Structure 1
Amino acid sequence: METDSESGPANLDIKLVKIDVKMQIRTLYAKVTFLQETGGMTEEIERMMMELIALCNKDDTLLTTRPPAAAAVRVFPKFLLKAVTMQAQSEYAGPDWKHLLIMPGDIIVVYAYINELAAIGFNTRTNLGGLFPVDSVMKVEPQPHEKTEIFLATKSSGQHASSPSSLAYDTGQYVRVCRWEKVLSGAYGFNLSTLAMGRFNAKFDFKKIEWHGEA
């Protein structure tokens, strides 16, 4: 009887390690960028990064997951009035931090479609959001209902957008909360105007939209 050499335990472990490494590299990139922007970069860290880059360049397949292609037939409406719950069927790690990192089984809350092949969503396991290919997920029964919380930006992000993971916003734009964080008034949100995702502080530059229930 023939065996499938590509689906053995060893190969499965290797795939998981690869995905884990990709996730760590995305996180490391965001941290290094933050240090560069705030003047906290040291010569030692810069030297270690150069060594890591040199190592990765020996086999650049680690960093070249193909991003979703552009739509060839028709375009979906960009914004979904009601978020859709999906479950990942395969792993995905895009070319940069703007793409969603997913592993099989992850629950993804989808907020918008870019085109037939790409969507924007929030991974409930990693608590991060981004762009991902539609064919990597499958629609499932909705998760327990969570109250929709929307904030109106009263100012532009300006100084509060201090790192790549920070959400950029302009006056008059609406931001939907994906998840509240432990930091007081800190949240991870989705900008309904730009379709961007990132962290923001609801205490600054925002006014909460109050929803009135049906009579």
Structure 2
Amino acid sequence: METDSKSSPANPDIKLVTIDVKMQIHTLHAKVTFLQETGGMTEEIERMMTELTVLCNKGNSLPTTRPPAPAATTVLPKLLVKAETMQAHSEYAGPDWRYLLIMPGDTIITYAHINKVTAVGFNTRTNLGGRFPIDTTKKVDPQPHEKVEIFIVTSPAVLFDTSPSSLGYMTGHYVRVCRWEKDMHWAYGFNLSTLAMGRFDVRYQFKKVEWHEET
């Protein structure tokens, strides 16, 4: 006669543990994706993820010493004081819609550096923005004058459009206009807080920042 085996800390049910791990991995993946998209990923979290990957792949115990981080992850994202105009000398097609499509000769207005190898910019030929490898471009001198238009988010976002082209934002974020659409209500912009790019309607939740000249 078979006896019912009940799961306990001393005698866990392997099926229940497997299901629990799968659910936790799905939850962890969603949280990590959110942090990556909002610029909240820290060096400590990246290290812990690396250690977890090593544990899953090799079955070894967690390393007791911290491995040296790649150069690209040791530099925190930074906004450029002044946007830089770059010209592409080679083509580039990124892994997804968050990255720029670039052809040789394209002019890119660069707003921030994610790290030593990746920047965020706006391609003036495609009228789209995104991330791109810095080594595919070169700086153009002298830098042309660019009109700076910035809006501040005054109230929480209301999701009218959830497509990848829409810009995510929160109250207090600053958004820089890259280009205006014909009706001058919609603009394509760069979120200075999240380093994301996308379309937004300036008529809702936004107030334009007025610049006062020094006298």
Q: Same fold (TM over 0.5)?
A: yes
CA shift in 2, pair 1:160/1:142, >3 Å: farther
Alignment of 1:149 onto 2:144: no
Q: Which deviates more, 157-166 or 124-133?
A: 157-166
For residues 98 and 142 of structure 1, the distance between their equivalents in structure 2, rounded to whole angstroms, comes to 29
Amino acid at match of 2:176: R
Q: How does 1:160-179 map to 2 (within 5 A)?
A: 160-179=160-179
For residues 192 and 89 of structure 1, the distance between their equivalents in structure 2, rounded to whole angstroms, comes to 27
Look up the match of 2:207.
207
For residues 160 and 142 of structure 2, the distance between their equivalents in structure 1, rounded to whole angstroms, comes to 34
Amino acid at match of 1:79: L
Asked if the contact 2:148/2:177 (under 8 Å) is kept, the reply is: yes
For residues 147 and 72 of structure 2, the distance between their equivalents in structure 1, rounded to whole angstroms, comes to 36
For residues 71 and 118 of structure 2, the distance between their equivalents in structure 1, rounded to whole angstroms, comes to 8
Identity, % of aligned pairs?
66
Look up the match of 1:62.
none
Amino acid at match of 2:209: I
Aligned length: 146
Q: CA RMSD in A?
A: 1.6
For residues 137 and 127 of structure 1, the distance between their equivalents in structure 2, rounded to whole angstroms, comes to 17
Look up the match of 1:102.
102
For residues 81 and 161 of structure 1, the distance between their equivalents in structure 2, rounded to whole angstroms, comes to 31
Q: SS of the residue aligned with 1:135?
A: helix
Q: SS of the residue aligned with 1:159?
A: coil
Look up the match of 2:158.
158
For 1:51-102, what per-residue CA distance to the aligned partner results, in whole angstroms no more than 9, with x for missing partners?
A: xxxxxxxxxxxxxxxxxxx634852651112100100010001010000111
Asked if the contact 1:84/1:142 (under 8 Å) is kept, the reply is: no
For residues 76 and 141 of structure 2, the distance between their equivalents in structure 1, rounded to whole angstroms, comes to 22
For residues 103 and 91 of structure 1, the distance between their equivalents in structure 2, rounded to whole angstroms, comes to 4
For residues 74 and 147 of structure 2, the distance between their equivalents in structure 1, rounded to whole angstroms, comes to 32
Q: How does 1:69-80 map to 2 (within 5 A)?
A: 71-72=71-72, 74-75=74-75, 78-80=78-80
For residues 202 and 80 of structure 1, the distance between their equivalents in structure 2, rounded to whole angstroms, comes to 24
Amino acid at match of 1:98: R
Normalised TM-score (structure 1): 0.64
Find runs of 4+ consecutive structure 1 residues off by over 6 angstroms. none
Asked if the contact 2:153/2:170 (under 8 Å) is kept, the reply is: yes
Look up the match of 2:191.
191
Q: Aligned-pair distance for 1:183? A: 3.0
Q: Aligned-pair distance for 1:146? A: 2.5
Q: Aligned-pair distance for 1:157? A: 2.4
For structure 2, the residue ranges without an aligned partner over 5 or more in a row are 1-69
For residues 159 and 77 of structure 1, the distance between their equivalents in structure 2, rounded to whole angstroms, comes to 27
Q: SS of the residue aligned with 1:187?
A: strand
Normalised TM-score (structure 2): 0.64
Look up the match of 1:124.
124
Q: SS of the residue aligned with 2:71?
A: coil
Q: SS of the residue aligned with 2:175?
A: strand
Amino acid at match of 2:128: L
For 1:143-177, what per-residue CA distance to the aligned partner results, in whole angstroms no more than 9, with x for missing partners?
A: 54232001000123222343110000000100000
